[in-house]
């Protein structure tokens, strides 16, 4: 999504490292990607448990 892509595009490769040895914008983008992937996985798990008969036309196999 644009929300995640914006965090990747804003990474400055010349940014100085913080006290933990990380580039703050790159670390923020990484944690944002974990958050995004977590929500995607949760969405997948929830939709996997919906009975086929409740999906209507989307439940055609």
Tens digits of per-residue pLDDT, 43-59?
Answer: 999 888 888 777 777 66
The total of other beta-carbon atoms located within 10 Å of residue 52's CB is 10
User: Which pair of tokens denotes residue 7?
Assistant: 């965090």
Check residue 35 and give its pLDDT: 93
Rounded to whole angstroms, how far apart are CA atoms 48 and 54? 12
Tens digit of each residue's pLDDT (9 = 90 or more) over 6-31: 888 888 999 999 998 989 989 988 99
Reported confidence tier of residue 61, pLDDT bands at 50, 70, 90: low
pTM: 0.65
């Amino acid at each position: 999504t644009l929300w995640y892509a914006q965090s990747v595009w804003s990474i400055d490769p010349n940014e100085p490292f913080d006290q933990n040895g990380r580039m703050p914008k790159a670390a923020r983008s990484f944690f944002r990607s974990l958050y995004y992937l977590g929500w995607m996985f949760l969405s997948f798990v929830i939709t996997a448990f919906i009975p086929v008969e409740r999906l209507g036309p989307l439940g055609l196999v």
